[in-house]
Structure 1
Amino acid sequence: MSTTLSGRTVLVTGATSGIGFESARTLAESGARVLLHGRTHEEARAAADRLIATAGIDGALLHPLAADFSRLEEVEAMAHAVVRSHPLLHALVNNAAMAAPERHTLTGDGNEIAFQVNFLAHYLLTNLLEPALTSDPGGRVVNVSSSLHRTGAIQWNDPQRMRRYARLAAYAQSQLALTVFAADPRVTAVSVDPGICETGLLALYGHEGAPAAEGAAHVVRLCDPATEIVNGAYYDRSERVAPAPAATEDRTVKRLNKLADLLVGHTA
């Protein structure tokens, strides 16, 4: 258990189950203040109550937050609320993710749903939280990615995959985008593949998974200021490895930012 996490403030998206829930638990057990994001207030509050009841976490360390990532206006509202109430944020864990559905699905914002929930919402959230993450040196972002990002391709001319949709390709595109985004110079960020774990995404991999707590340990380690990180680095569990070549190309980072700004209507 890290003592260097004590007193730090960390926001974990998708903290109501799986790796997000276990990351929130480990962070809070280490004395961090955890902003616990769920899709609804009820889900976030229930997750906090579960941590208090089952792990003996001090309720004062848990702050439930809600935003449905398929609605960008909710992401924006949550981000503004966080900056107001927590002007100093030490780490952001971009963990919330969904498996792309079998059928092509657009959100109300007009984006392919997995691309929005897994990447665009986190892009918008990270940018809006930049003032809180950079108000003190050492703020960092941990993007929970996947080895499947290596099979992905960003369809620049058809990011919504209107012309040709395949579930696995849509999911891989969202994970590649999230991994590329870690190389953005605005906030120090890394990506991590936490390994195949027993989460809601397991069906995509078709394997048995390790306990979610094992994956969470790799995420929490990267939140710890005792772990030195380099912007844009990619980890396969605890080992730093090279990501897909696109994730280290400046041109790709800039092109993705331009596309994401357009799709989220980002003006901040």
Structure 2
Amino acid sequence: MTAPTADRTPHPGPDRTPDRMPDQHGRVAVVTGATSGLGLVTATELARHGARVVLAVRRTAAGHEVARRMAGDVEVREVDLASLDSVRTFAAGLVADHPAIDLLVNNAGAVLLGPRRTSVDGFELQLATNMLGHFALTGLLLDALTAGRGARVVSLSSITHRTAHLDLDDLQYERDYRPAPAYGRSKLATTLFGLELDRRLRAAGSPVASVLAHPGLTRTNLTPRAWEHRPRLGRLIAAAGLLVTQRVEQGALPQLHAATAPGVRGGQFFGPAGPWETRGQVAEARLGREAADPALGRGLWEAAERLTGVRYL
């Protein structure tokens, strides 16, 4: 199966600068991984434009620190996407206080370049954080999203998804583990999830839209964290990356566009318009071959239901 051809024309309007974002007053927005990088920029801009923003963070002390520097209506809540118990506790408390949610940005992510690690639930840690935790969270919040106004779920993909391969028989990468391909696999899984969610929402006649975005090559703190086991090498790689990466404020534009731009439809995928989608203004992004396979999407969905115990749609 060949990937669909994407329109690479930059999108006009709010994607070009956050200052042109539509007014967000009256919207409740949840952003995971909001203490740094793409999540911090996304949460900051949503709050600045009037949304009530829930910072869904693993470290609440860091969350409160960034919240103090934000303008707007912001609250901090603890969630560890790599723990299903934490996800369930977070979702239950959130829905009790916010029975209608208008935006969920599945932004939190992990990049691990050392030995294979597992979550408290026994899942490969990159898959657990990047996809399975968000799968569970989205399902647990779906009723509240359905009650929202024009609600959207935005899931964060990566250009690495296009060269990744998903083996449903070894989803946890227990055979021949390699960290970089495992990261790409987790982002392919995220992309498949977002598209399968869109198909299921449309089949159910749901008003919720599932949209995808990726940041191209963007400078965040994920690279230094990924190399914590070899900090000197990590610093060198981060320094070299200054030559080819874009600022985080630019990298966040595709997900801000997916979250707020008028006319966005479920199933759309946004990324940078520049060469190889590494940087630049916002355009529709290109899907990898496996990401465009509905059968693989269904298989992953069924596996995620078994692993997380969360079933919806």
- Return the TM-score normalized by structure 1: 0.91
Across the aligned residues of Structure 1 and Structure 2, the Cα RMSD in angstroms comes to 1.8
Structure 2 residue identity aligned to 1:76:
R
User: Which of the numbers 233, 242, 251 marks the counterpart of 2:268?
Assistant: 233
Aligned partners of 2:162 and 2:287 also within 8 Å? yes
1 or 2 for the larger relative contact order (CA 8 Å, sep ≥6)?
2
Is 1:191 the counterpart of 2:225? The answer is: no
Q: CA deviation at 1:68?
A: 1.6
Aligned-partner Cα distance in 2 for 1:248–1:195: 19
Alpha-carbon distance between aligned partners in 1 of 2:221 and 2:165, rounded to the nearest angstrom:
23
The CA distance in 2 between the partners of 1:253 and 1:112, in whole Å, is: 19
User: Which stretch shifts more, 207-216 or 26-35?
Assistant: 207-216
Letter in 2 for 1:92: L
Whole-angstrom CA distance in 1 between matches of 2:51 and 2:133: 24
Tell me how far apart the structure 2 counterparts of residues 228 and 202 of structure 1 sit (CA, whole Å): 34
SS in 2 for 1:62: strand
Deviation at 1:192, TM superposition (A): 0.8
TM-score, normalised to structure 2, is 0.78
In terms of Rg, which structure is larger?
A: 2
Q: How does 1:162-241 map to 2 (within 5 A)?
A: 162-183=174-195, 184=197, 185-186=200-201, 187-202=208-223, 207-208=241-242, 209-224=245-260, 226-237=261-272, 238-241=282-285
Question: One-letter code of the match for 2:296?
Answer: T
Preserved CA contact (<8 Å) 1:182 1:231? no
Deviation at residue 215 of structure 1 after TM alignment: 1.6
Distance 1:230 1:247, change over 3 A: farther
* Alignment-mate amino acid for residue 91 of structure 1: L
1:83–1:129 CA contact under 8 A, matched in 2 = yes
Residue 137 of structure 1 and its aligned partner are, at CA, apart by: 4.9
Identity of aligned residues (%): 31
SS in 1 for 2:30: strand
Deviates more, 1:84-93 or 1:241-250: 241-250
Task: Please list the CA deviations of residues 13-67 of structure 1 after superposition, one character each: whole Å capped at 9, or x if unmatched.
Answer: 000000100111111111111111110222221221232xxxxx13xx1010111
Deviation, structure 1 residue 249:
2.4
| Residue matched to 1:253 | 297
Q: Secondary structure of 1:120's match?
A: helix
Match of 1:242 in 2: 286
Q: Which moved more, 1:175-184 or 1:202-211?
A: 202-211
SS, match of residue 290 in structure 2? helix
Q: 1:125-144 counterparts in 2 under 5 A?
A: 125-144=137-156
Aligned counterpart, 1:49: 68
Deviations 1:119-164 (A, max 9, x none): 1000000111100111135211111111001111112111111111
Structure 1 residues 135 and 80 mapped into 2: Cα distance closer, same or farther (>3 Å)?
same
Structure 1: segments with no counterpart, 5+ residues: 52-56
Shift, 1:100, TM fit: 2.2
The answer to whether the aligner puts 1:15 opposite 2:51 as a matched pair is no
Give the secondary structure class of the aligned counterpart of 1:129.
Answer: helix
Structure 1 246/213 Cα, relative in aligned 2: closer, same or farther at 3 Å?
A: same
